[in-house]
């Protein structure tokens, strides 16, 4: 057993008697082995916030049952102190605030914004910027009316809202028939709850304007919608702050509800313990159960549009399911003033390498005119693929938004890659090998998609078949490094072109073609091969070499769309390439890819299978 006093940071002491009483109240037989308070420092980029230390009470227990030792258990709790208590001079964290719409919550949020403006060297300054085409004028903090305004390129400060629309229609959107009325007044009662609450938050932050897509874009005007969607990246990037309604599944739900107590409270409750401060003063600690922030649990992180809405803003106020969070280039924090680990964006967390590309204030990438070395360009391409992989796991209500919803991110990458953007891929005549590697993506279709959804998705043109954006499903480039060694004198790109549907260079396309000079081989059947699942087969093609066949859809669905007698393999690299079928007499479509099986003869490459073939021209659409 440990003594009744436990050594704490800076020689302060925590009374264990109260801790023992609390643990005994858990209906648990135990022996208290150790208890100590540690301060953990979380690195925030290249900087540390003043409140980056987060105190944790670590308790080691020897749990017993019926008087016999069963297992050892370690529990961790957040340690907090109330303002005005002597312990507040030594403990950085304050008790969690569950009412995210309270006056104290907005005081803290305004403090974050003010501190970012005055103290964060890594964050761009808050200054007037050119306002979007339209914004909502919310008035002052005491206003109860709002209206839509044309900005005429005026300068100002504004908030932007990132949220989920949901499946059901919004109660109010701007159309050509009501826009003039909304310029006069927007009735609060006509707005979705999430939009009402975003307007309220904007007022509490002292901002006059907010941009919300449903109201600031004329939704039934194709010209206005295309023009404004092409500016989405810039709108979120230049906003003073982006309000992220992360907890709301749809626009009618709202996001200012009182947060629930942490899920671990089913076992542990908050309690208070006496604390002897290093200066001799007697204070009190508040011990709270930990409740980690899991970004993947947030409804907003399953929506396609919100990926760029998360990555591009300079500052975010994130209303998550458990708490209110702040994130800027310098600091990530929660209500209670404790720093958080890097906030992810859900499934397939983005690696930190993307940040220099996306954050223009970063010193290494501050100028797009700076010539980048080969390694930096490789990293940029690698992180582009990571982003695409993650983006492809998200959902889009309108499937033809697949390129527009990613256009803000593409705009950022274009500043550094300086290559032609081809419907989600990067092409340069001087670097065929990089583009060839980009063509070797793999697709996984959600088996839960209904036949009706499948038919609708596949009848909707979004991009050429050789682009990941032309398909619905989860994309991956995770293959053997040897797959990406381009076959010598076996593949030449003669032409790569797309036809834009509008003026936006990173937006929708209505056509495209890839003309190659390549070696091809007929694959008579995959039906006799080993079936891995509905999308993957193993086929013997040369001696004992096996080829992995990755289809872009199930055999049944492909057969419904095409009636090929054979599949054709196009060699792109020494160990892989594309699967195509005829579309008409002179054109082909991609239906998958192939690669050498990982356990096949290590000294052999699949290029041997094509060594007697002549180069021929193939056009893929």
Answer yes or no: is 104 within a domain: no
Mean pLDDT of the chain, nearest integer: 81
Domain co-membership, 270 together with 333? no
Residue 453, pLDDT > 80, answer no
Cα(114)–Cα(108) distance, rounded to whole angstroms?
10
Domain co-membership, 585 together with 446? yes
Structural domain ending residue among the three candidates 289, 306, 327: 289
Contacts for 249 with CB less than 8 Å, ≥ 6 apart = 164, 166, 299
Answer yes or no: is 359 within a domain: no
Q: Which two tokens stand for residue 181?
A: 């009325």
Residue 466, pLDDT > 60, answer yes
* Predicted local confidence at residue 6, as pLDDT: 43
* Number of independent structural domains in the chain: 3
With b meaning 16 or more CB within 10 Å and e meaning fewer, what string describes 281-312? eebebbbbbebebebeebbbbbbbbbbbbbbb
Write 603-608 long-range contacts (CB < 8 A, 24+). Answer: 604/542, 604/545, 605/482, 605/574, 605/575, 606/541, 606/542, 606/545, 606/547, 606/571, 606/574, 606/575, 606/576, 607/487, 607/490, 607/571, 607/574, 607/575, 608/542
Answer yes or no: is 368 within a domain: no
* Predicted local confidence at residue 490, as pLDDT: 79
* Predicted local confidence at residue 348, as pLDDT: 34
CB 36 within 8 A of CB 321: no
In three-state secondary structure terms, 399 is: helix
Contacts for 405 with CB less than 8 Å, ≥ 6 apart = 304, 305, 307, 308, 391, 396
* Predicted local confidence at residue 45, as pLDDT: 35
DSSP string, 446-466: -TT--HHHHHHHHTS--S-TT
Query: For residue range 401-434, what is the model confidence (pLDDT) as tens digits?
Result: 999 999 999 998 998 888 999 999 999 888 788 8
Listed in order, strand segments (DSSP E) in 303-369 are 315-319, 324-328, 332-334, 338-339
Domain co-membership, 92 together with 141? no
Cα(110)–Cα(99) distance, rounded to whole angstroms?
16
Cα(282)–Cα(609) distance, rounded to whole angstroms?
80
Answer yes or no: is 460 within a domain: yes
Domain co-membership, 408 together with 557? yes
Structural domain ending residue among the three candidates 345, 365, 383: 345
Terminal CA-to-CA distance of the chain, rounded, Å?
Answer: 73
**Residue 520: which domain range?**
374-620
Length of the chain: 621
* Predicted local confidence at residue 30, as pLDDT: 62
Answer yes or no: is 39 within a domain: yes
Answer yes or no: is 280 within a domain: yes
* Predicted local confidence at residue 264, as pLDDT: 52
Answer yes or no: is 360 within a domain: no
Residue 327, pLDDT > 50, answer yes
Cα→Cα distances 588→155, 324, 427, 592, Å = 51, 51, 20, 12
* Predicted local confidence at residue 55, as pLDDT: 74
Q: Mean pLDDT throughout 119-130?
A: 91
Residue 294, pLDDT > 60, answer no
Answer yes or no: is 363 within a domain: no
Q: Which two tokens stand for residue 38?
A: 């540690």
Domain co-membership, 421 together with 566? yes
* Predicted local confidence at residue 130, as pLDDT: 97
Contacts for 541 with CB less than 8 Å, ≥ 6 apart = 521, 523, 547, 606, 609
Domain co-membership, 175 together with 299? yes
Q: Which two tokens stand for residue 122?
A: 């890594």
* Exposure of 373 in the CB half-sphere (CA atoms within 13 A): 2
Query: For residue range 111-124, what is the model confidence (pLDDT) as tens digits?
Result: 999 999 999 988 88
Domain co-membership, 40 together with 10? yes
Residue 229, pLDDT > 50, answer yes
* Predicted local confidence at residue 90, as pLDDT: 83
Cα(332)–Cα(330) distance, rounded to whole angstroms?
7
* Predicted local confidence at residue 403, as pLDDT: 96
Domain co-membership, 555 together with 411? yes
With b meaning 16 or more CB within 10 Å and e meaning fewer, what string describes 25-43? eeeeebebeebebebeeee
Q: What percent of the chain has pLDDT over 70?
A: 73
CB 498 within 8 A of CB 512: yes
Domain co-membership, 225 together with 322? yes
Residue 203 CB neighbours (<10 A): 21
Residue 139 CB neighbours (<10 A): 15
Residue 362, pLDDT > 80, answer no
Domain co-membership, 131 together with 186? yes
* Predicted local confidence at residue 363, as pLDDT: 43
The mean-pLDDT minimum among 53-67, 69-83, 480-494 falls in 53-67
| Position 376 confidence tier, pLDDT thresholds 50, 70, 90 | confident
Residue 570, pLDDT > 70, answer yes
Residue 131, pLDDT > 60, answer yes
Domain co-membership, 83 together with 182? no
* Predicted local confidence at residue 534, as pLDDT: 59
Domain co-membership, 426 together with 516? yes
* Predicted local confidence at residue 455, as pLDDT: 47
Residue 516 CB neighbours (<10 A): 24
Burial class (CB in 10 A: 0-12, 13-18, 19+), 10: exposed
H or E stretch covering 377: helix 374-391
In three-state secondary structure terms, 546 is: strand
Cα(270)–Cα(509) distance, rounded to whole angstroms?
56
In three-state secondary structure terms, 92 is: coil
Query: For residue range 472-514, what is the model confidence (pLDDT) as tens digits?
Result: 889 998 655 556 677 677 789 999 999 999 888 999 999 999 9
46 or 299: whose pLDDT is higher?
299
């Amino acid at each position: 057993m440990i003594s009744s006093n436990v050594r704490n940071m800076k020689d302060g002491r925590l009374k264990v008697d109260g801790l023992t009483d609390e643990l005994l109240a858990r209906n648990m037989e135990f022996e208290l082995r150790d208890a100590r308070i540690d301060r953990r420092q979380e690195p925030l980029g290249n900087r540390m916030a003043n409140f980056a230390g987060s105190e944790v009470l670590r308790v080691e227990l020897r749990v017993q049952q019926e008087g016999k030792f069963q297992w050892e258990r370690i529990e961790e709790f957040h340690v907090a102190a109330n303002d005005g208590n002597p312990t507040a001079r030594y403990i950085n964290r304050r008790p969690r605030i569950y009412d995210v719409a309270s006056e104290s919550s907005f005081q803290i949020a305004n403090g974050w914004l003010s501190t970012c403006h005055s103290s964060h060297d890594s964050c761009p300054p808050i200054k007037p910027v050119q306002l979007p085409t339209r914004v909502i004028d919310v008035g002052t903090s005491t206003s109860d009316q709002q209206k839509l305004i044309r900005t005429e390129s005026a300068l100002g400060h504004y908030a932007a809202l990132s949220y989920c629309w949901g499946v059901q229609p919004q109660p109010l959107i701007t159309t050509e028939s009501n826009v003039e009325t909304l310029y006069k007044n927007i009735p609060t009662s006509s707005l979705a709850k999430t939009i009402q609450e975003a307007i309220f938050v904007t007022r509490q932050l002292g901002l006059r304007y907010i941009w919300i897509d449903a109201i600031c874009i004329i939704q039934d005007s194709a010209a206005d919608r295309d023009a404004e969607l092409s500016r989405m990246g810039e709108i979120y990037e230049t906003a003073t702050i982006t309000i992220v309604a992360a907890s709301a599944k749809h626009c009618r739900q709202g996001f200012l509800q009182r947060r629930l107590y942490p899920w671990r409270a089913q076992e542990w409750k908050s309690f208070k313990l006496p604390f002897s401060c290093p200066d001799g003063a007697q204070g009190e600690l508040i011990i709270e159960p930990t409740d980690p922030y899991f970004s993947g649990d947030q409804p907003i992180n399953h929506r396609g549009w919100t990926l760029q809405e998360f990555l591009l803003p300079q500052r975010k106020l994130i209303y998550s399911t458990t708490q209110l969070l702040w994130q800027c280039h310098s600091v990530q924090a929660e209500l209670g003033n404790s720093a958080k680990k890097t906030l992810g964006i859900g499934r397939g967390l983005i690696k930190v390498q993307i940040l220099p590309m996306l954050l223009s204030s970063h010193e290494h990438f501050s100028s797009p005119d700076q010539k980048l070395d080969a390694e930096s360009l490789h990293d940029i391409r690698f992180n582009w693929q990571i982003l695409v992989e993650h983006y492809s796991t998200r959902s889009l209500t309108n499937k033809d938004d697949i390129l527009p919803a990613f256009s803000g991110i593409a705009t950022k990458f274009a500043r550094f890659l300086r290559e032609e953007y081809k419907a989600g891929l990067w092409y340069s005549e001087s670097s065929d090998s990089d583009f060839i590697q980009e063509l070797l993506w793999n697709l996984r279709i959600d088996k839960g998609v209904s036949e009706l959804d499948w038919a609708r998705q596949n009848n909707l043109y979004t991009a050429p078949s050789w682009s990941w954006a032309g398909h619905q499903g989860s994309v991956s480039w995770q293959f053997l490094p040897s797959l990406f060694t381009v076959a010598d004198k076996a593949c030449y790109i003669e032409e790569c072109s797309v036809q834009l549907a509008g003026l936006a260079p990173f937006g929708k396309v209505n056509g495209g073609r890839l003309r190659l000079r390549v070696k091809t081989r007929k694959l008579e059947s995959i039906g006799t091969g080993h079936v891995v699942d509905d999308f993957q087969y193993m086929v013997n093609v040369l001696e004992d070499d096996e080829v992995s066949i990755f289809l872009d859809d199930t055999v049944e669905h492909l057969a419904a769309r095409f009636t090929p007698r054979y599949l054709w393999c196009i060699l792109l690299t020494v160990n892989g390439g594309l699967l195509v079928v005829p579309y008409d007499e002179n054109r082909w479509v991609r239906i998958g890819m192939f690669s050498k099986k990982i356990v096949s003869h290590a000294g052999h490459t699949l290029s041997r299978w094509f060594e007697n073939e002549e180069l021929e021209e193939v056009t893929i659409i």
